[in-house]
Amino acid sequence: MANTDFYDDDLSQPPRTPLGSRGLGGEGRDKKPMNSDDAMAGRASDLNLTGMKRHQKDVTEQATQALHELEQLRQRQEQLEREKKVLEQAQRQQETFTRGRKEMTGYLRKSLTSLERDEVETQRYLELISSARTRFREMLGEVDALNEDEWSEEQLSDELSRGLTVLEEIRGEYNRTMARLEA
């Protein structure tokens, strides 16, 4: 073994041109150097590559922005759905309130009319009872006043006749009053 040290032959060679300036196949050493048109085309290619990256970045940002907007719209939709539910509940409560109020107003008005009519009838009935009670007391006094023990024999026939007439009148009035009370 002659020489065991590693030595790179490429280091002793003249520098090569970059890949972009070489021709197809990579034979840059054997070809003549690039002219200015070739250099401009290479720079334009670099600009196109930079433009592509910029376009890709713009598209990515637009996609991210669109996703962000979609998320905001989804959140807004959820918020609107919650608000809709609240409003629907409020509407149902308002309809129930309006219906219940109308229903109870009708019931109460009808009942008040009926009670007022009953009150008037009851008042008349109470007045009838009061006057019947007063009159029955008077009639009881008249019947109690018919005391046959006090009649003399000479007046017995007249007193009986008069007593029967009083009793008949009282019986008639009593029957009429009881009929009105029971009606």
Tens of pLDDT, residue by residue over 141-174, are: 999 998 888 888 888 889 899 999 999 999 999 9
pLDDT in tens, 21-75: 444 444 444 555 556 666 555 555 555 668 788 889 899 999 999 999 999 999 9
Verdict on whether the full-model pTM lies above 0.85: no
Q: Which of the two residues, 156 and 1, has the higher pLDDT score?
A: 156
Per-residue pLDDT, 45: 59
CA distance 180 to 125: 9
Are 36 and 43 in contact by the 8 Å Cβ rule? The answer is: no
